[in-house]
């Protein structure tokens, strides 16, 4: 049965936002390969903060940046190689006092 609403209410918005934020928060973690940490979570956070503060918004293709692009915490815009941190991930960074 489909809901017959013309607009999404604030309650539905907050619930969907919180769910999506949890999903993104769970994607930012240590990269473990064969039981060994390859990239620590702090390196991912440093890459995200660095991109947020970079006025050019064109990060180097380091392994952390490529991982973050793959899990969509970094989004490409305008087809010009311009990138930025996903808006919900920025909220996560602010909550963790990284920004």
Domain boundaries, the chain: 10-95
Q: Evaluate if residue 4 carries a pLDDT over 90.
A: no
- Cα–Cα distance between 31 and 19 in angstroms, integer? 23
CA 30 to chain centre: 14
Q: Evaluate if residue 3 carries a pLDDT over 70.
A: no
Contact 51, 57 (CB under 8 A): yes
pLDDT of residue 8: 84
Q: Evaluate if residue 5 carries a pLDDT over 90.
A: no
pTM of the model: 0.87
pLDDT tens-digit readout, 17-59: 999 999 999 999 999 999 999 999 999 999 999 999 999 999 9
């Amino acid at each position: 049965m489909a809901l017959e609403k013309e607009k999404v209410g604030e309650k539905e918005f907050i619930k969907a936002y919180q769910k999506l934020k949890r999903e993104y928060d769970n994607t930012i973690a240590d990269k473990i390969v064969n039981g060994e940490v390859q990239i620590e979570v702090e390196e991912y956070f440093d890459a995200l903060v660095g991109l947020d503060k970079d006025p050019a918004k064109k990060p180097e293709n380091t392994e952390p940046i490529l991982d973050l692009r793959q899990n969509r915490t970094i989004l490409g815009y305008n087809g010009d190689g311009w990138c930025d941190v996903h808006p919900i991930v920025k909220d996560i960074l602010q909550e963790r006092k990284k920004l």
